[in-house]
Chain A
Amino acid sequence: AQSVTQPDIHITVSEGASLELRCNYSYGATPYLFWYVQSPGQGLQLLLKYFSGDTLVQGIKGFEAEFKRSQSSFNLRKPSVHWSDAAEYFCAVFRNFGNEKLTFGTGTRLTIIP
């Protein structure tokens, strides 16, 4: 079945530390890939997206993600997190043929400690 997997339900990091959130997908072809962030009580905001080309993409708020075809992964990274980064992060894929739709992972909740 086509799916998006975020293996980490909850991650806690110290402010100023580096961050990596994992995302794996199981599609035959490379889909379009996204990371969204949801702050408490808010809707989803697009952080970054990958369609093709350079496998390292830059997003807003200092985030970046790297697409690795061999690992079917699209992990989100940030070199130094800020307390305001505490939120829930969702990886999503969009199949660009056939039944086009956004499919989301279950999300990773990020907690920042001082």
Chain B
Amino acid sequence: ETGVTQTPRHLVMGMTNKKSLKCEQHLGHNAMYWYKQSAKKPLELMFVYNFKEQTENNSVPSRFSPECPNSSHLFLHLHTLQPEDSALYLCASSQSLLDTEAFFGQGTRLTVV
């Protein structure tokens, strides 16, 4: 148990659906991250939030929309996804952007049909 909780653990959605992934941490961390993990590819950093402000968007398509209402919660809103978006989506947090140690959630396994 790392202190970072993601829900749901598994999600199957159609290409016309709208769904949201949730990440929650009560570690007192100020930086939160979304990563995408696809088979046979390195983890891809998608978004970075620091003190609720988005500091990085690594050319992620607009069908992925992050939201960080407070330092403890991070959402990833999904709409009109493509089958190639199927992957494990991992949330992580760290004390600060400069803190090298990140704590990861268990991930949400997303399947787009």
A residues near B (Cβ < 8 Å) are 4, 9, 32, 34, 36, 41-46, 49, 51, 90, 94, 96, 100-107
B43 & A43 in contact (Cβ 8 Å cutoff): no
B95 within 8 A of A: no
Residues of B with C-beta under 8 A to A9: 40
B97 & A100 in contact (Cβ 8 Å cutoff): yes
Residues of A with C-beta under 8 A to B42: 4, 103-107
Residues of B with C-beta under 8 A to A44: 90, 92, 104
Total residues of chain B contacting the partner, CB 8 A: 24
- Pick 24 A–B contacts, CB within 8 A, sort by A: A41-B9, A42-B106, A42-B107, A43-B2, A43-B4, A43-B90, A43-B104, A43-B105, A43-B106, A43-B107, A44-B92, A45-B104, A49-B100, A49-B101, A51-B100, A96-B100, A100-B97, A100-B98, A101-B45, A101-B48, A101-B56, A102-B102, A103-B42, A104-B42
Residues of A with C-beta under 8 A to B48: 101
Residues of B with C-beta under 8 A to A36: 104
B residues near A (Cβ < 8 Å) are 2, 4, 6, 9, 40-43, 45, 48, 56, 90, 92, 97-98, 100-107, 109
B110 CB → nearest A CB, Å? 14
Q: In the complex, what distance in Å separates the CA atom of A102 from the CA atom of B58?
A: 13
A6 CB → nearest B CB, Å? 9
